[in-house]
Amino acid sequence: MTAPHGPGVLWVAEIVAVLHTFCVEVSRSGVRSAVVFNPAKLDDPDELRSVLGKALEKAGWPAPEWYETTVEDPGRGQSSAAVEAGAEVVFACGGDGTIMACASGLVGTEAALAVLPSGTGNLLAANLGLSGDLAAGIAVAVEGGRRRLDLGLVKGRDEKRYFTVMAGMGFDAQMLDSTSETTKARIGWLAYLFGGLKHLRDRPMRLSVRIDDRPPMRRRARSVLIANVGRLQGGVRLFKEAEPDDGWLDIAILTPRTVGHWAALSWGVLRRRGRVPRMETYRGHTIQVTSNRPQPRQTDGDVIPAGRVLRVEVQPSAIWLCVPRPESSDDLAYDADAAAERGERLVGSE
């Protein structure tokens, strides 16, 4: 067969050559990034600067800009400033509060959030399968896996709070509030189990739960969880069907009354075969939980002021998130172990 020739083919070849040169130049220029970090969650900030800086240089990225969080601004203002300065990827390094605040600052932008877990809980990191692995977090960012992530929005008369993973009212918030920072630093996420034991026998809440335009449901419940993605602390998957970008929120109403009920519920969640005792699950876009008295509440593992109402709306495709490849997997943690191995090579010595 005769090879195609003529002016048209030469013109196409020239375009391909130009595009190749352009792509090479873009690749060499790298991706502009910034790091928003919580100094209270880092043992050695200088080591983070060194490790991340060397890894990004090896990947062909320019040196990142650095932003430190404060008590007054735990990350939202810093991530917004980073985007305004041209950052395409914002690394969030801290606990759940830092990550949640950074995500809030990226809503409506094209910059991607990259999670560098350093706190004890790190719910979003657990759903990414990153645990406390700095190398894996860096690898996930530089390898270019990007995915749109829904967010939840807690709305009230005087409040507006985003969350990436989960919000709740009742036992879950009590457990978080009863867990000391000292215990968390010593034994990690297992500390929450000890915090929860203090409240197993507390009285249930009298609730009305309304999902979208459906009739309200009245329940005597210990906890109501509203989730964007499905994993709890320790990687336990509470919602099997939860996906990060499906435009839905998943709801669990927990109704244990005795220690035996709690044991059956916990075993059911761990085994995940069929129906879980004392747990009702639903899906919706707008959820309002109303109690007869103020109740403890939480978003992404951070306790927020108690209130009688928890109103949550889904915010579809709110931010870009750096994820392990393939980006389309139902499980955000897919390929996380392999990413950790590649990350070790990236941050390691030549």
> Rounded to whole angstroms, how far apart are CA atoms 203 and 184?
26
Please list the pLDDT of the chain residue by residue as tens digits (350 residues): 444 445 444 444 443 343 333 343 344 358 999 999 999 888 899 999 999 999 999 999 999 999 999 999 999 999 999 999 999 999 999 988 899 999 999 999 999 999 997 766 578 887 777 766 788 889 889 988 899 999 999 998 888 999 999 999 999 999 988 887 777 777 776 777 888 888 888 999 999 999 999 999 999 999 999 999 888 866 788 888 888 889 999 999 999 999 999 999 999 998 877 789 999 999 999 999 999 999 999 998 889 999 999 999 999 999 999 988 665 666 666 556 666 667 677 777 54
* 70: β partners: none
Residue 1 is predicted with a pLDDT of 44
Residues 6 or more apart whose Cβ sits within 8 Å of residue 266: none
Spatial CA neighbour of 320 closest among 127, 151, 68, 138: 151
> Rounded to whole angstroms, how far apart are CA atoms 239 and 337?
22
Q: Give the strand pairing for 89-94 and 302-322.
A: unpaired
Q: What is the dihedral of CA 189, 190, 191, 197, to 10 degrees?
A: 130
Q: Containing H/E element for 344?
A: helix 336-347
Q: Give the strand pairing for 286-299 and 302-322.
A: antiparallel
> Rounded to whole angstroms, how far apart are CA atoms 210 and 216?
4
> Using only C-alpha atoms, what is the Rg of the chain?
23
Which domains, and CATH codes, for the chain? 10-17+23-145+323-347 (3.40.50.10330), 153-316 (2.60.200.40)
Residue 157 is predicted with a pLDDT of 82
Residues 6 or more apart whose Cβ sits within 8 Å of residue 103: 79, 92, 113, 149, 151, 162, 164, 318, 319
> Rounded to whole angstroms, how far apart are CA atoms 325 and 264?
36
Residue 171, Cβ density class (10 Å: 0-12 exposed, 13-18 middle, ≥19 buried):
buried
